Homo-oligomer: A and B are copies of this chain.
Amino acid sequence: MPSNLDAQSIAPHPDHDHQACIDSALTAARELCREKQQKLTKTREKVLQLIWGSHRPIGAYSLMDALAEGEQKRVAPPTVYRALDFLLELGLIHRINSLNAYIGCQDPSHEHHCYFLICTSCNLAVETDPGPFQSAVGQLKQESGFEIRQQNMEFNGLCPHCQEQSE
Protein backbone atom coordinates (compact mmCIF):
# COMPACT_ATOMS: atom_id res chain seq x y z
CA MET A 1 0.00 0.00 0.00
CA PRO A 2 1.51 3.37 -0.98
CA SER A 3 1.86 6.47 -0.56
CA ASN A 4 0.32 9.84 -0.11
CA LEU A 5 -0.95 9.11 3.35
CA ASP A 6 -0.84 10.79 6.73
CA ALA A 7 2.17 9.74 8.75
CA GLN A 8 0.13 9.13 11.89
CA SER A 9 -2.44 6.95 10.24
CA ILE A 10 -3.27 5.11 7.09
CA ALA A 11 -6.07 7.62 6.53
CA PRO A 12 -5.39 10.38 4.03
CA HIS A 13 -5.05 13.73 5.72
CA PRO A 14 -7.68 16.34 4.76
CA ASP A 15 -4.89 18.65 3.56
CA HIS A 16 -2.92 16.16 1.50
CA ASP A 17 -1.94 16.83 -2.09
CA HIS A 18 -4.76 15.01 -3.72
CA GLN A 19 -3.76 15.72 -7.30
CA ALA A 20 -0.84 13.41 -6.63
CA CYS A 21 -3.30 10.66 -5.68
CA ILE A 22 -5.18 11.12 -8.92
CA ASP A 23 -2.06 11.22 -11.04
CA SER A 24 -0.52 8.13 -9.53
CA ALA A 25 -3.79 6.24 -9.81
CA LEU A 26 -4.08 7.04 -13.49
CA THR A 27 -0.48 6.15 -14.13
CA ALA A 28 -0.94 2.83 -12.37
CA ALA A 29 -4.11 2.20 -14.37
CA ARG A 30 -2.36 2.80 -17.70
CA GLU A 31 0.44 0.52 -16.64
CA LEU A 32 -1.96 -2.24 -15.58
CA CYS A 33 -3.92 -2.01 -18.81
CA ARG A 34 -0.74 -2.32 -20.81
CA GLU A 35 0.26 -5.40 -18.82
CA LYS A 36 -3.09 -7.05 -19.16
CA GLN A 37 -3.54 -5.90 -22.74
CA GLN A 38 -6.76 -4.12 -22.01
CA LYS A 39 -7.82 -0.78 -23.40
CA LEU A 40 -8.28 2.15 -21.07
CA THR A 41 -10.70 3.99 -23.33
CA LYS A 42 -11.66 7.62 -22.91
CA THR A 43 -14.87 6.77 -21.06
CA ARG A 44 -13.17 4.31 -18.76
CA GLU A 45 -10.37 6.69 -17.96
CA LYS A 46 -12.77 9.53 -17.29
CA VAL A 47 -14.82 7.37 -14.93
CA LEU A 48 -11.71 6.25 -13.09
CA GLN A 49 -10.54 9.83 -12.78
CA LEU A 50 -13.92 10.91 -11.42
CA ILE A 51 -13.89 8.08 -8.91
CA TRP A 52 -10.48 9.28 -7.79
CA GLY A 53 -11.92 12.76 -7.41
CA SER A 54 -12.10 12.01 -3.71
CA HIS A 55 -11.35 9.30 -1.19
CA ARG A 56 -15.06 8.77 -0.74
CA PRO A 57 -17.12 6.10 -2.46
CA ILE A 58 -19.25 7.52 -5.26
CA GLY A 59 -22.41 6.03 -6.75
CA ALA A 60 -23.01 5.23 -10.40
CA TYR A 61 -25.60 7.96 -10.86
CA SER A 62 -23.40 10.58 -9.24
CA LEU A 63 -20.75 9.55 -11.72
CA MET A 64 -23.26 10.07 -14.52
CA ASP A 65 -23.94 13.55 -13.18
CA ALA A 66 -20.23 14.28 -13.00
CA LEU A 67 -19.70 13.00 -16.53
CA ALA A 68 -22.44 15.32 -17.73
CA GLU A 69 -20.68 18.44 -16.40
CA GLY A 70 -19.82 20.66 -19.32
CA GLU A 71 -21.06 18.18 -21.88
CA GLN A 72 -23.96 18.53 -24.26
CA LYS A 73 -25.63 15.24 -23.49
CA ARG A 74 -25.77 12.86 -20.58
CA VAL A 75 -24.56 9.33 -20.97
CA ALA A 76 -27.05 6.58 -20.18
CA PRO A 77 -26.63 4.20 -17.24
CA PRO A 78 -25.21 1.30 -19.25
CA THR A 79 -22.25 3.42 -20.30
CA VAL A 80 -21.26 4.06 -16.72
CA TYR A 81 -21.97 0.53 -15.57
CA ARG A 82 -19.86 -0.91 -18.38
CA ALA A 83 -16.96 1.27 -17.39
CA LEU A 84 -17.43 0.30 -13.76
CA ASP A 85 -17.55 -3.39 -14.64
CA PHE A 86 -14.34 -3.03 -16.61
CA LEU A 87 -12.58 -1.22 -13.78
CA LEU A 88 -13.84 -3.70 -11.21
CA GLU A 89 -12.72 -6.60 -13.34
CA LEU A 90 -9.21 -5.21 -13.58
CA GLY A 91 -9.12 -4.43 -9.90
CA LEU A 92 -8.75 -0.70 -10.45
CA ILE A 93 -11.73 0.03 -8.25
CA HIS A 94 -13.69 -1.69 -5.51
CA ARG A 95 -17.39 -1.71 -4.83
CA ILE A 96 -18.56 -0.75 -1.35
CA ASN A 97 -21.62 -2.93 -1.01
CA SER A 98 -23.12 -1.19 1.98
CA LEU A 99 -23.20 2.09 0.03
CA ASN A 100 -23.82 0.88 -3.53
CA ALA A 101 -20.80 2.94 -4.41
CA TYR A 102 -17.37 2.66 -5.93
CA ILE A 103 -13.91 3.74 -4.87
CA GLY A 104 -10.43 3.60 -6.33
CA CYS A 105 -8.13 0.77 -5.35
CA GLN A 106 -5.01 1.82 -3.47
CA ASP A 107 -2.89 -0.89 -5.04
CA PRO A 108 -4.23 -2.48 -8.21
CA SER A 109 -0.85 -4.02 -9.05
CA HIS A 110 -1.93 -7.33 -7.60
CA GLU A 111 -5.31 -8.88 -6.91
CA HIS A 112 -6.45 -8.73 -3.35
CA HIS A 113 -9.47 -8.83 -1.14
CA CYS A 114 -11.65 -5.87 -0.37
CA TYR A 115 -11.06 -4.45 3.12
CA PHE A 116 -12.26 -0.95 3.94
CA LEU A 117 -12.64 1.40 6.84
CA ILE A 118 -15.52 3.78 6.23
CA CYS A 119 -16.29 6.93 8.17
CA THR A 120 -20.01 7.21 8.85
CA SER A 121 -19.67 10.94 9.27
CA CYS A 122 -17.66 12.14 6.25
CA ASN A 123 -17.78 8.96 4.14
CA LEU A 124 -14.05 8.73 3.91
CA ALA A 125 -13.10 5.19 2.90
CA VAL A 126 -9.65 3.82 3.52
CA GLU A 127 -8.45 0.58 2.04
CA THR A 128 -6.58 -1.58 4.43
CA ASP A 129 -4.31 -4.59 4.41
CA PRO A 130 -6.07 -7.95 4.70
CA GLY A 131 -2.83 -9.50 5.95
CA PRO A 132 -3.45 -9.36 9.70
CA PHE A 133 -6.78 -11.13 9.22
CA GLN A 134 -5.51 -14.10 7.29
CA SER A 135 -4.71 -16.35 10.20
CA ALA A 136 -8.28 -15.99 11.41
CA VAL A 137 -9.50 -16.64 7.88
CA GLY A 138 -7.39 -19.80 7.72
CA GLN A 139 -8.86 -21.01 10.96
CA LEU A 140 -12.32 -20.27 9.66
CA LYS A 141 -11.69 -22.29 6.51
CA GLN A 142 -10.71 -25.23 8.69
CA GLU A 143 -13.68 -25.01 10.95
CA SER A 144 -16.29 -24.28 8.33
CA GLY A 145 -15.13 -26.49 5.50
CA PHE A 146 -15.83 -23.59 3.14
CA GLU A 147 -13.50 -22.92 0.29
CA ILE A 148 -13.21 -19.15 0.69
CA ARG A 149 -12.53 -17.33 -2.54
CA GLN A 150 -13.46 -13.73 -1.88
CA GLN A 151 -13.24 -11.65 1.24
CA ASN A 152 -15.17 -8.47 1.66
CA MET A 153 -14.85 -6.51 4.85
CA GLU A 154 -16.43 -3.19 5.69
CA PHE A 155 -15.69 -1.50 8.99
CA ASN A 156 -17.79 1.50 9.86
CA GLY A 157 -16.93 4.17 12.37
CA LEU A 158 -15.37 7.58 12.74
CA CYS A 159 -12.20 8.62 10.98
CA PRO A 160 -9.53 10.45 13.00
CA HIS A 161 -10.56 13.82 11.61
CA CYS A 162 -14.25 13.40 12.41
CA GLN A 163 -13.40 12.25 15.94
CA GLU A 164 -11.63 15.55 16.53
CA GLN A 165 -14.57 17.47 15.14
CA SER A 166 -16.99 15.78 17.48
CA GLU A 167 -14.97 16.29 20.66
Contacts and interface: CB of A to CB of B under 8 A. Distances in A.
Interface residues of A, number: 37
A128 interface: yes
Contacts of A147: 157-158, 163
B144 A11 contact: yes
A86 to B, nearest CB: 20
A158 B155 CA distance: 24
A136 interface: yes
A40 interface: no
A83 B150 CA distance: 31
B146 A117 contact: yes
A63 interface: no
Interface of A: 8-11, 97-98, 117, 119-120, 126, 128, 132-133, 135-137, 139-140, 143-160, 163
A145 B120 contact: no
Contacts of A97: 97-98, 154
A98 B100 CA distance: 9
Contacts of A153: 151-154
Given A117-B144, A132-B139, A146-B158, 18 more contacts: A9-B144, A10-B143, A10-B144, A11-B145, A98-B152, A117-B140, A136-B136, A144-B160, A145-B163, A146-B155, A146-B159, A148-B155, A148-B156, A151-B155, A152-B153, A152-B156, A153-B153, A153-B154
A137 B149 contact: no
